[in-house]
Structure 1
Protein backbone atom coordinates (compact mmCIF):
# COMPACT_ATOMS: atom_id res chain seq x y z
CA UNK A 1 0.00 0.00 0.00
CA UNK A 2 1.65 3.18 -1.21
CA UNK A 3 1.31 6.65 0.30
CA UNK A 4 0.18 9.63 -1.69
CA UNK A 5 2.80 12.33 -1.86
CA UNK A 6 1.25 15.63 -0.62
CA UNK A 7 3.64 17.55 -2.83
CA UNK A 8 2.03 16.00 -5.86
CA UNK A 9 -1.37 17.26 -4.70
CA UNK A 10 0.02 20.74 -4.00
CA UNK A 11 1.34 21.07 -7.54
CA UNK A 12 -2.08 21.55 -9.16
CA UNK A 13 -2.93 24.03 -6.49
CA UNK A 14 0.25 25.89 -7.13
CA UNK A 15 -0.46 25.89 -10.86
CA UNK A 16 -4.03 27.09 -10.31
CA UNK A 17 -2.82 29.93 -8.09
CA UNK A 18 -0.26 30.93 -10.68
CA UNK A 19 -2.89 30.93 -13.38
CA UNK A 20 -5.21 33.04 -11.25
CA UNK A 21 -2.42 35.48 -10.57
CA UNK A 22 -1.67 35.74 -14.24
CA UNK A 23 -5.36 36.32 -15.06
CA UNK A 24 -5.68 39.08 -12.49
CA UNK A 25 -2.62 40.90 -13.75
CA UNK A 26 -4.26 42.09 -17.03
CA UNK A 27 -7.22 43.48 -15.05
CA UNK A 28 -4.86 45.61 -13.01
CA UNK A 29 -3.16 46.76 -16.17
CA UNK A 30 -6.56 47.61 -17.74
CA UNK A 31 -7.59 49.53 -14.65
CA UNK A 32 -4.29 51.36 -14.61
CA UNK A 33 -4.69 52.13 -18.29
CA UNK A 34 -8.24 53.43 -17.70
CA UNK A 35 -7.09 55.73 -14.90
CA UNK A 36 -4.18 56.90 -17.01
CA UNK A 37 -6.54 57.54 -19.97
CA UNK A 38 -8.95 59.53 -17.76
CA UNK A 39 -6.06 61.53 -16.36
CA UNK A 40 -4.78 62.19 -19.85
CA UNK A 41 -8.26 63.24 -21.01
CA UNK A 42 -8.63 65.52 -17.99
CA UNK A 43 -5.21 67.03 -18.78
CA UNK A 44 -6.24 67.49 -22.42
CA UNK A 45 -9.36 69.35 -21.33
CA UNK A 46 -7.41 71.74 -19.11
CA UNK A 47 -4.24 72.17 -21.13
CA UNK A 48 -3.36 72.09 -24.80
CA UNK A 49 0.39 72.11 -24.35
CA UNK A 50 0.55 75.53 -25.97
CA UNK A 51 1.01 78.31 -23.38
CA UNK A 52 -0.53 80.92 -25.69
CA UNK A 53 -3.66 78.87 -26.39
CA UNK A 54 -4.03 78.00 -22.71
CA UNK A 55 -3.82 81.70 -21.82
CA UNK A 56 -6.60 82.79 -24.18
CA UNK A 57 -8.87 79.81 -23.54
CA UNK A 58 -12.23 80.83 -22.13
CA UNK A 59 -13.06 79.49 -18.68
CA UNK A 60 -15.65 76.77 -18.35
CA UNK A 61 -19.19 78.14 -18.32
CA UNK A 62 -20.64 78.18 -14.85
CA UNK A 63 -24.27 78.39 -14.07
CA UNK A 64 -25.28 81.73 -12.56
CA UNK A 65 -27.95 81.41 -9.90
CA UNK A 66 -31.08 83.39 -10.49
CA UNK A 67 -31.63 86.45 -8.35
CA UNK A 68 -34.03 85.87 -5.53
CA UNK A 69 -37.11 87.99 -5.26
CA UNK A 70 -36.59 90.39 -2.34
CA UNK A 71 -40.23 91.41 -2.02
CA UNK A 72 -42.20 90.15 0.98
CA UNK A 73 -45.51 88.51 0.18
CA UNK A 74 -48.52 87.71 2.33
CA UNK A 75 -47.20 84.17 2.81
CA UNK A 76 -43.94 85.57 4.18
CA UNK A 77 -45.79 87.65 6.75
CA UNK A 78 -47.84 84.70 7.94
CA UNK A 79 -44.68 82.57 8.07
CA UNK A 80 -43.05 85.18 10.30
CA UNK A 81 -46.17 85.28 12.47
CA UNK A 82 -46.13 81.49 12.83
CA UNK A 83 -42.46 81.55 13.82
CA UNK A 84 -43.16 84.28 16.34
CA UNK A 85 -46.03 82.31 17.91
CA UNK A 86 -44.00 79.11 18.05
CA UNK A 87 -41.00 80.80 19.69
CA UNK A 88 -42.86 82.90 22.27
CA UNK A 89 -42.65 82.26 26.00
CA UNK A 90 -45.78 80.34 27.09
CA UNK A 91 -45.68 82.18 30.42
CA UNK A 92 -45.56 85.56 28.59
CA UNK A 93 -47.79 85.20 25.54
CA UNK A 94 -48.22 87.98 23.00
CA UNK A 95 -50.66 90.63 24.10
CA UNK A 96 -54.00 90.67 22.30
CA UNK A 97 -53.45 94.29 21.27
CA UNK A 98 -50.13 93.40 19.67
CA UNK A 99 -51.69 90.44 17.88
CA UNK A 100 -54.50 92.60 16.52
CA UNK A 101 -52.02 95.28 15.45
CA UNK A 102 -49.93 92.73 13.56
CA UNK A 103 -52.96 91.23 11.83
CA UNK A 104 -54.11 94.72 10.88
CA UNK A 105 -50.67 95.44 9.44
CA UNK A 106 -50.80 92.26 7.38
CA UNK A 107 -54.27 93.14 6.09
CA UNK A 108 -53.08 96.64 5.18
CA UNK A 109 -50.16 95.26 3.17
CA UNK A 110 -52.46 92.87 1.34
CA UNK A 111 -54.93 95.68 0.65
CA UNK A 112 -52.19 97.90 -0.77
CA UNK A 113 -51.07 95.10 -3.08
CA UNK A 114 -54.62 94.60 -4.37
CA UNK A 115 -55.02 98.37 -4.76
CA UNK A 116 -51.91 98.52 -6.91
CA UNK A 117 -53.32 95.82 -9.19
CA UNK A 118 -56.60 97.70 -9.50
CA UNK A 119 -54.78 100.94 -10.33
CA UNK A 120 -52.85 99.20 -13.10
CA UNK A 121 -56.10 97.90 -14.57
CA UNK A 122 -57.68 101.33 -14.24
CA UNK A 123 -54.77 102.95 -16.10
CA UNK A 124 -55.16 100.47 -18.94
CA UNK A 125 -58.89 101.20 -19.18
CA UNK A 126 -58.33 104.97 -19.11
CA UNK A 127 -55.64 104.72 -21.80
CA UNK A 128 -57.96 102.81 -24.10
CA UNK A 129 -60.83 105.23 -23.39
CA UNK A 130 -58.62 108.23 -24.07
CA UNK A 131 -57.45 106.73 -27.35
CA UNK A 132 -61.06 106.12 -28.36
CA UNK A 133 -61.94 109.76 -27.66
CA UNK A 134 -58.82 111.01 -29.44
CA UNK A 135 -59.75 109.02 -32.55
CA UNK A 136 -62.50 111.61 -33.12
CA UNK A 137 -59.76 114.15 -33.89
CA UNK A 138 -58.57 112.25 -36.97
CA UNK A 139 -59.10 114.43 -40.02
CA UNK A 140 -59.30 117.65 -38.01
CA UNK A 141 -56.72 120.32 -37.23
CA UNK A 142 -55.28 120.99 -33.80
CA UNK A 143 -53.34 123.96 -32.49
CA UNK A 144 -49.94 122.92 -31.14
CA UNK A 145 -47.37 125.00 -29.22
CA UNK A 146 -44.88 125.12 -32.08
CA UNK A 147 -44.07 127.71 -34.74
CA UNK A 148 -43.42 124.94 -37.31
CA UNK A 149 -46.12 123.83 -39.74
CA UNK A 150 -46.40 121.64 -42.81
CA UNK A 151 -47.35 122.92 -46.26
CA UNK A 152 -48.72 120.40 -48.78
CA UNK A 153 -51.21 120.01 -51.61
CA UNK A 154 -53.84 118.96 -49.06
CA UNK A 155 -53.00 121.96 -46.83
CA UNK A 156 -51.85 124.77 -49.18
CA UNK A 157 -52.35 127.43 -46.45
CA UNK A 158 -50.38 127.55 -43.20
CA UNK A 159 -52.32 128.96 -40.25
CA UNK A 160 -51.35 129.83 -36.72
CA UNK A 161 -51.87 132.10 -33.71
CA UNK A 162 -49.55 134.85 -32.45
CA UNK A 163 -49.74 135.47 -28.70
CA UNK A 164 -49.10 139.06 -27.61
CA UNK A 165 -48.63 140.32 -24.04
CA UNK A 166 -50.42 143.56 -24.90
CA UNK A 167 -51.97 145.39 -27.84
CA UNK A 168 -49.48 145.91 -30.68
CA UNK A 169 -50.30 148.12 -33.65
CA UNK A 170 -48.27 146.18 -36.19
CA UNK A 171 -46.94 142.63 -35.99
CA UNK A 172 -44.25 141.64 -38.50
CA UNK A 173 -44.55 138.02 -39.64
CA UNK A 174 -41.64 136.16 -41.26
CA UNK A 175 -41.90 132.83 -43.07
CA UNK A 176 -38.77 130.68 -43.06
CA UNK A 177 -38.05 127.34 -44.74
CA UNK A 178 -36.43 124.27 -43.20
CA UNK A 179 -32.94 125.76 -43.65
CA UNK A 180 -33.91 128.98 -41.90
CA UNK A 181 -33.90 131.03 -45.09
CA UNK A 182 -36.40 133.85 -45.35
CA UNK A 183 -39.26 133.11 -47.76
CA UNK A 184 -41.46 136.16 -47.32
CA UNK A 185 -42.61 138.77 -44.80
CA UNK A 186 -45.92 140.51 -44.18
CA UNK A 187 -47.70 142.47 -41.45
CA UNK A 188 -50.86 141.79 -39.45
CA UNK A 189 -52.90 143.93 -37.08
CA UNK A 190 -52.32 143.30 -33.39
CA UNK A 191 -54.23 146.21 -31.94
CA UNK A 192 -56.72 143.87 -30.25
CA UNK A 193 -53.94 142.16 -28.31
CA UNK A 194 -54.11 138.63 -26.94
CA UNK A 195 -54.17 135.83 -29.49
CA UNK A 196 -54.02 137.07 -33.08
CA UNK A 197 -54.76 134.75 -36.00
CA UNK A 198 -52.16 134.57 -38.75
CA UNK A 199 -52.39 132.88 -42.15
CA UNK A 200 -49.85 132.33 -44.94
CA UNK A 201 -51.05 131.49 -48.43
CA UNK A 202 -47.93 129.51 -49.35
CA UNK A 203 -46.49 132.13 -51.75
CA UNK A 204 -43.02 133.61 -51.57
CA UNK A 205 -42.18 137.30 -51.89
CA UNK A 206 -42.38 137.04 -55.68
CA UNK A 207 -45.87 135.54 -55.58
CA UNK A 208 -44.73 132.04 -56.59
CA UNK A 209 -46.08 128.96 -54.85
CA UNK A 210 -43.62 127.25 -52.54
CA UNK A 211 -43.11 123.49 -52.68
CA UNK A 212 -44.47 121.15 -50.05
CA UNK A 213 -42.42 121.00 -46.89
CA UNK A 214 -41.99 122.25 -43.36
CA UNK A 215 -42.01 126.01 -42.74
CA UNK A 216 -41.78 128.19 -39.65
CA UNK A 217 -43.82 131.26 -38.74
CA UNK A 218 -41.85 133.91 -36.86
CA UNK A 219 -43.48 137.04 -35.44
CA UNK A 220 -42.14 140.16 -33.77
CA UNK A 221 -43.53 143.46 -32.54
CA UNK A 222 -42.64 146.47 -30.46
CA UNK A 223 -43.39 146.00 -26.78
CA UNK A 224 -42.59 148.94 -24.48
CA UNK A 225 -40.74 150.61 -27.32
CA UNK A 226 -38.49 147.59 -28.04
CA UNK A 227 -38.78 144.91 -30.71
CA UNK A 228 -39.48 141.48 -29.20
CA UNK A 229 -40.10 138.00 -30.58
CA UNK A 230 -43.65 136.80 -29.99
CA UNK A 231 -44.85 133.27 -29.25
CA UNK A 232 -46.42 131.51 -32.24
CA UNK A 233 -48.58 128.37 -32.36
CA UNK A 234 -49.52 126.59 -35.57
CA UNK A 235 -52.33 124.33 -36.75
CA UNK A 236 -51.55 120.79 -37.87
CA UNK A 237 -53.64 118.07 -39.53
CA UNK A 238 -54.25 114.90 -37.47
CA UNK A 239 -53.79 111.77 -39.57
CA UNK A 240 -53.98 109.04 -36.91
CA UNK A 241 -53.89 108.32 -33.18
CA UNK A 242 -51.52 106.04 -31.26
CA UNK A 243 -52.47 104.44 -27.94
CA UNK A 244 -49.28 105.42 -26.13
CA UNK A 245 -48.76 104.44 -22.48
CA UNK A 246 -50.26 105.38 -19.13
CA UNK A 247 -47.56 108.01 -18.62
CA UNK A 248 -47.72 109.59 -22.10
CA UNK A 249 -51.38 109.12 -22.95
CA UNK A 250 -52.64 109.07 -26.51
CA UNK A 251 -50.33 110.35 -29.23
CA UNK A 252 -51.67 112.38 -32.16
CA UNK A 253 -49.78 111.79 -35.39
CA UNK A 254 -49.61 115.04 -37.36
CA UNK A 255 -49.08 115.30 -41.11
CA UNK A 256 -45.47 116.18 -41.91
CA UNK A 257 -44.60 117.00 -38.30
CA UNK A 258 -44.72 113.85 -36.19
CA UNK A 259 -46.40 112.90 -32.94
CA UNK A 260 -47.60 115.07 -30.08
CA UNK A 261 -49.26 114.25 -26.79
CA UNK A 262 -52.99 114.78 -26.59
CA UNK A 263 -52.49 116.86 -23.45
CA UNK A 264 -50.27 119.33 -25.36
CA UNK A 265 -53.03 120.30 -27.79
CA UNK A 266 -54.12 123.93 -27.29
CA UNK A 267 -57.25 123.98 -29.45
CA UNK A 268 -59.18 122.03 -32.07
CA UNK A 269 -60.27 123.60 -35.35
CA UNK A 270 -62.48 122.60 -38.23
CA UNK A 271 -60.89 121.40 -41.44
Structure 2
Protein backbone atom coordinates (compact mmCIF):
# COMPACT_ATOMS: atom_id res chain seq x y z
CA UNK A 1 0.00 0.00 0.00
CA UNK A 2 2.87 2.36 0.78
CA UNK A 3 4.51 1.57 -2.57
CA UNK A 4 1.34 2.44 -4.41
CA UNK A 5 1.11 5.74 -2.57
CA UNK A 6 4.73 6.58 -3.46
CA UNK A 7 4.07 5.76 -7.12
CA UNK A 8 0.98 7.93 -7.07
CA UNK A 9 2.85 10.83 -5.55
CA UNK A 10 5.70 10.45 -8.05
CA UNK A 11 3.23 10.34 -10.95
CA UNK A 12 1.43 13.44 -9.64
CA UNK A 13 4.71 15.36 -9.32
CA UNK A 14 5.72 14.38 -12.86
CA UNK A 15 2.35 15.52 -14.22
CA UNK A 16 2.63 18.84 -12.38
CA UNK A 17 6.17 19.40 -13.73
CA UNK A 18 5.03 18.74 -17.31
CA UNK A 19 2.11 21.09 -16.84
CA UNK A 20 4.41 23.87 -15.62
CA UNK A 21 6.77 23.26 -18.56
CA UNK A 22 3.86 23.48 -21.01
CA UNK A 23 2.70 26.72 -19.37
CA UNK A 24 6.17 28.28 -19.65
CA UNK A 25 6.44 27.15 -23.26
CA UNK A 26 3.01 28.60 -24.02
CA UNK A 27 3.89 31.92 -22.40
CA UNK A 28 7.20 32.02 -24.25
CA UNK A 29 5.47 31.26 -27.52
CA UNK A 30 2.84 33.90 -26.93
CA UNK A 31 5.52 36.40 -25.99
CA UNK A 32 7.79 35.81 -28.98
CA UNK A 33 5.04 35.27 -31.50
CA UNK A 34 3.90 38.38 -33.40
CA UNK A 35 1.04 36.76 -35.26
CA UNK A 36 -2.53 36.90 -34.00
CA UNK A 37 -3.99 34.67 -36.68
CA UNK A 38 -6.13 37.57 -37.93
CA UNK A 39 -4.81 39.00 -41.22
CA UNK A 40 -6.43 42.39 -40.59
CA UNK A 41 -4.90 42.80 -37.12
CA UNK A 42 -1.52 41.55 -38.33
CA UNK A 43 -1.65 44.11 -41.18
CA UNK A 44 -2.18 47.12 -38.92
CA UNK A 45 0.27 45.95 -36.24
CA UNK A 46 3.13 48.41 -35.74
CA UNK A 47 6.55 47.03 -36.71
CA UNK A 48 8.80 46.00 -33.83
CA UNK A 49 11.70 47.96 -35.31
CA UNK A 50 11.57 51.40 -36.80
CA UNK A 51 12.60 51.31 -40.45
CA UNK A 52 13.83 54.62 -41.85
CA UNK A 53 13.91 54.68 -45.63
CA UNK A 54 17.09 55.86 -47.28
CA UNK A 55 17.11 59.30 -48.82
CA UNK A 56 16.58 59.20 -52.56
CA UNK A 57 17.46 61.69 -55.22
CA UNK A 58 14.66 64.03 -56.28
CA UNK A 59 15.70 63.80 -59.92
CA UNK A 60 13.96 61.40 -62.27
CA UNK A 61 16.21 58.90 -63.99
CA UNK A 62 15.66 56.81 -67.08
CA UNK A 63 14.83 53.86 -64.83
CA UNK A 64 12.05 55.90 -63.20
CA UNK A 65 10.71 56.84 -66.62
CA UNK A 66 10.48 53.24 -67.79
CA UNK A 67 8.89 52.27 -64.47
CA UNK A 68 6.19 54.91 -65.00
CA UNK A 69 5.79 53.82 -68.60
CA UNK A 70 5.30 50.21 -67.51
CA UNK A 71 2.65 51.29 -65.00
CA UNK A 72 0.93 53.31 -67.69
CA UNK A 73 0.87 50.34 -70.06
CA UNK A 74 -0.37 47.93 -67.39
CA UNK A 75 -3.26 50.23 -66.36
CA UNK A 76 -4.37 51.39 -69.80
CA UNK A 77 -7.79 50.56 -71.21
CA UNK A 78 -7.38 47.52 -73.50
CA UNK A 79 -10.11 48.94 -75.74
CA UNK A 80 -8.35 52.33 -75.95
CA UNK A 81 -4.65 51.60 -75.83
CA UNK A 82 -2.07 54.36 -75.83
CA UNK A 83 -1.19 55.50 -79.32
CA UNK A 84 2.30 54.56 -80.50
CA UNK A 85 2.95 58.16 -81.47
CA UNK A 86 2.21 59.30 -77.91
CA UNK A 87 4.60 56.71 -76.47
CA UNK A 88 7.35 57.73 -78.88
CA UNK A 89 6.72 61.41 -78.07
CA UNK A 90 7.01 60.69 -74.34
CA UNK A 91 10.24 58.78 -74.80
CA UNK A 92 11.62 61.52 -77.04
CA UNK A 93 10.68 64.20 -74.49
CA UNK A 94 12.43 62.33 -71.69
CA UNK A 95 15.53 61.82 -73.84
CA UNK A 96 15.52 65.54 -74.65
CA UNK A 97 15.32 66.53 -70.98
CA UNK A 98 18.08 64.07 -70.11
CA UNK A 99 20.23 65.46 -72.92
CA UNK A 100 19.69 69.06 -71.78
CA UNK A 101 20.70 68.12 -68.23
CA UNK A 102 23.94 66.56 -69.49
CA UNK A 103 24.55 69.57 -71.74
CA UNK A 104 24.22 71.91 -68.75
CA UNK A 105 26.85 69.89 -66.89
CA UNK A 106 29.18 70.11 -69.87
CA UNK A 107 28.64 73.88 -70.13
CA UNK A 108 29.52 74.30 -66.44
CA UNK A 109 32.73 72.33 -66.99
CA UNK A 110 33.48 74.38 -70.10
CA UNK A 111 33.01 77.62 -68.14
CA UNK A 112 35.47 76.43 -65.52
CA UNK A 113 38.03 75.56 -68.18
CA UNK A 114 37.57 78.91 -69.94
CA UNK A 115 37.90 80.80 -66.66
CA UNK A 116 41.16 79.04 -65.84
CA UNK A 117 42.45 79.58 -69.38
CA UNK A 118 41.53 83.26 -69.27
CA UNK A 119 43.30 83.70 -65.94
CA UNK A 120 46.40 82.00 -67.35
CA UNK A 121 46.41 84.41 -70.31
CA UNK A 122 45.82 87.39 -68.03
CA UNK A 123 48.80 86.41 -65.88
CA UNK A 124 50.99 87.66 -68.75
CA UNK A 125 49.81 91.20 -67.93
CA UNK A 126 51.31 91.17 -64.44
CA UNK A 127 53.96 93.90 -64.24
CA UNK A 128 52.58 95.79 -67.24
CA UNK A 129 50.26 98.79 -67.56
CA UNK A 130 46.74 98.62 -68.95
CA UNK A 131 44.44 101.40 -70.05
CA UNK A 132 41.19 101.35 -68.10
CA UNK A 133 38.01 103.44 -68.53
CA UNK A 134 38.43 105.61 -65.43
CA UNK A 135 39.95 109.04 -64.88
CA UNK A 136 41.50 108.07 -61.53
CA UNK A 137 44.98 106.55 -61.25
CA UNK A 138 47.56 105.75 -58.62
CA UNK A 139 50.83 107.56 -57.96
CA UNK A 140 53.50 105.76 -55.92
CA UNK A 141 57.23 105.65 -55.39
CA UNK A 142 57.57 102.92 -58.02
CA UNK A 143 55.40 104.90 -60.48
CA UNK A 144 55.60 108.67 -59.68
CA UNK A 145 53.87 109.80 -62.90
CA UNK A 146 50.33 109.29 -64.20
CA UNK A 147 49.47 108.72 -67.86
CA UNK A 148 46.21 108.42 -69.71
CA UNK A 149 44.24 109.22 -72.85
CA UNK A 150 41.82 112.10 -73.48
CA UNK A 151 39.08 111.28 -76.01
CA UNK A 152 37.87 114.25 -78.05
CA UNK A 153 34.79 114.33 -80.32
CA UNK A 154 36.49 116.84 -82.60
CA UNK A 155 39.80 118.59 -83.12
CA UNK A 156 40.49 120.88 -80.17
CA UNK A 157 43.57 123.12 -80.38
CA UNK A 158 43.99 123.51 -76.63
CA UNK A 159 42.86 121.03 -73.99
CA UNK A 160 42.95 122.15 -70.38
CA UNK A 161 44.00 119.40 -67.94
CA UNK A 162 43.44 119.53 -64.18
CA UNK A 163 44.78 117.03 -61.63
CA UNK A 164 42.80 116.56 -58.40
CA UNK A 165 43.72 114.68 -55.24
CA UNK A 166 41.44 112.30 -53.34
CA UNK A 167 39.86 115.30 -51.55
CA UNK A 168 38.90 117.00 -54.83
CA UNK A 169 41.50 119.77 -54.54
CA UNK A 170 43.38 120.84 -57.67
CA UNK A 171 47.09 120.07 -57.31
CA UNK A 172 48.22 120.82 -60.87
CA UNK A 173 46.99 122.29 -64.19
CA UNK A 174 48.50 122.26 -67.68
CA UNK A 175 47.50 122.30 -71.34
CA UNK A 176 47.98 119.74 -74.11
CA UNK A 177 47.55 119.94 -77.88
CA UNK A 178 44.36 118.32 -79.20
CA UNK A 179 44.50 119.55 -82.77
CA UNK A 180 44.78 115.99 -84.11
CA UNK A 181 41.50 114.99 -82.48
CA UNK A 182 40.53 111.47 -81.42
CA UNK A 183 42.52 109.93 -78.58
CA UNK A 184 45.11 112.35 -77.24
CA UNK A 185 47.80 110.97 -74.88
CA UNK A 186 48.31 112.86 -71.62
CA UNK A 187 51.01 112.49 -68.98
CA UNK A 188 51.27 114.18 -65.59
CA UNK A 189 54.76 114.32 -64.07
CA UNK A 190 53.49 113.91 -60.50
CA UNK A 191 54.46 117.45 -59.44
CA UNK A 192 52.17 119.95 -57.77
CA UNK A 193 51.79 123.65 -58.60
CA UNK A 194 55.02 124.41 -56.75
CA UNK A 195 56.98 121.80 -58.69
CA UNK A 196 57.21 119.45 -55.71
CA UNK A 197 56.49 115.70 -55.90
CA UNK A 198 53.07 114.82 -54.51
CA UNK A 199 52.54 112.16 -51.90
CA UNK A 200 51.56 108.63 -52.94
CA UNK A 201 47.85 108.05 -53.46
CA UNK A 202 45.04 108.18 -56.01
CA UNK A 203 44.69 111.21 -58.28
CA UNK A 204 42.08 112.16 -60.88
CA UNK A 205 42.71 113.71 -64.27
CA UNK A 206 40.02 116.05 -65.61
CA UNK A 207 40.12 117.47 -69.14
CA UNK A 208 38.02 120.11 -70.87
CA UNK A 209 38.05 122.03 -74.13
CA UNK A 210 36.00 124.25 -76.43
CA UNK A 211 33.57 122.30 -78.61
CA UNK A 212 31.44 124.47 -80.93
CA UNK A 213 32.43 127.51 -78.87
CA UNK A 214 31.35 125.95 -75.56
CA UNK A 215 33.51 124.45 -72.81
CA UNK A 216 32.93 120.72 -72.56
CA UNK A 217 34.26 118.04 -70.24
CA UNK A 218 36.13 115.29 -72.11
CA UNK A 219 36.36 111.58 -71.37
CA UNK A 220 39.63 110.49 -69.77
CA UNK A 221 41.09 107.00 -69.42
CA UNK A 222 44.17 106.25 -67.32
CA UNK A 223 46.91 103.65 -67.28
CA UNK A 224 47.22 101.40 -64.24
CA UNK A 225 49.91 98.97 -63.13
CA UNK A 226 48.80 95.29 -62.87
CA UNK A 227 50.13 93.63 -59.73
CA UNK A 228 48.30 90.27 -59.81
CA UNK A 229 45.41 88.35 -61.36
CA UNK A 230 42.41 86.70 -59.67
CA UNK A 231 40.42 83.85 -61.20
CA UNK A 232 37.04 85.50 -60.66
CA UNK A 233 33.87 83.65 -61.65
CA UNK A 234 32.31 82.39 -64.88
CA UNK A 235 30.30 85.62 -65.17
CA UNK A 236 33.11 88.09 -64.39
CA UNK A 237 36.09 86.26 -65.84
CA UNK A 238 39.63 87.06 -64.73
CA UNK A 239 40.10 90.09 -62.46
CA UNK A 240 43.19 92.29 -62.79
CA UNK A 241 44.36 93.61 -59.43
CA UNK A 242 45.83 97.08 -59.88
CA UNK A 243 48.30 99.09 -57.85
CA UNK A 244 46.41 101.14 -55.31
CA UNK A 245 43.95 98.39 -54.39
CA UNK A 246 41.56 98.68 -57.34
CA UNK A 247 40.48 95.82 -59.57
CA UNK A 248 39.01 95.55 -63.07
CA UNK A 249 37.68 92.81 -65.30
CA UNK A 250 39.95 91.70 -68.10
CA UNK A 251 37.17 92.36 -70.61
CA UNK A 252 37.10 96.07 -69.60
CA UNK A 253 40.74 96.71 -70.51
CA UNK A 254 41.02 99.19 -73.40
CA UNK A 255 44.72 98.80 -74.22
CA UNK A 256 47.98 97.36 -72.95
CA UNK A 257 51.17 99.39 -72.67
CA UNK A 258 54.70 98.10 -73.13
CA UNK A 259 55.88 99.80 -69.94
TM-score range, shorter chain: 0.7 to 0.9
Structure 2 distance, partners of 1:217, 1:242, is 27
Counterpart of 1:5 in structure 2 is: none
Equivalent residue in structure 1 for 2:154, among 163, 166, 171: 166
TM-score, with structure 1 as normaliser: 0.72
Match of 2:133 in 1: 145
Give a deviation string over 1:242-268, Cα, whole Å, max 9, x none: 000000100000000411100000000
What is the SS of the residue equivalent to 1:244?
A: coil
Q: Residue 235 of structure 2 is aligned with which of 242, 247, 253?
A: 247
| Aligned-pair CA distance for 1:78 | 3.2
Distance, in Å, in 2 between the alignment partners of 1:229 and 1:74 is 64
**1:74, distance to aligned residue in structure 2 (A):** 4.0
User: Where does residue 237 of structure 1 map in the other structure?
Assistant: 225
Matched, 1:198 2:183: no
Q: Which residue of 1 is the match for residue 98 of structure 2?
A: 110
Q: CA deviation at 1:270?
A: 1.1
Write out per-residue CA displacement over residues 114-146 of structure 1, whole angstroms, 9 at most, x where no aligned residue. Answer: 101100100000000000000000000000000
CA contact (8 A) 1:240 1:253 kept: yes
CA positional deviation for 1:91: 2.5
Give the Cα separation in 1 of the matches to 2:191 and 2:153.
Answer: 29
How many pairs align? 205
Provide the C-alpha distance between the structure 2 equivalents of 1:238 and 1:247, rounded to a whole number of angstroms.
21
Quote how far apart the aligned CAs of 1:96 are: 1.5
Could you say if the C-alpha distance between residues 257 and 198 of structure 1 is closer, same or farther in structure 2, counting changes exceeding 3 Å?
Answer: farther
Contact 1:149/1:257, CA 8 A, preserved across alignment:
no
Q: Distance in 2 between matches of 1:171 and 1:83?
A: 81
What's the counterpart of residue 119 of structure 1? 107
From 90, 93, 96, the counterpart of 2:84: 96
Match of residue 183 from structure 1: 171
Unmatched 5+ residue regions in structure 2? 1-55
Q: Name the structure 2 match of 1:261.
A: 249
Counterpart of 1:207 in structure 2 is 195
SS of residue matched to 1:249: coil
Q: State yes or no: 1:87 paired with 2:75.
A: yes
Structure 1 gaps, min length 5: 1-67
TM-score of the superposition, structure 2-length normalised?
0.76
Provide the secondary structure at the position in 2 that maps to 1:103.
helix
Structure 1 position 169, deviation (Å): 0.7
Among candidates 195, 212, 216, match of residue 224 of structure 1: 212
Structure 1 consecutive aligned stretches of length 4 or more whose deviation exceeds 6 Å = none
Distance 2:217 2:233 in 1: 36
Q: CA deviation at 1:89?
A: 1.1
Partner of 1:78: 66
Question: Residues 220-243 of structure 1, C-alpha deviation per residue, up to 9 Å, x if partnerless?
Answer: 001111101100000000000000
1:75 CA drift (Å) = 4.4
CA distances 1:164-188 after superposition (whole Å, capped 9, x unpaired):
0010010000000000000010000
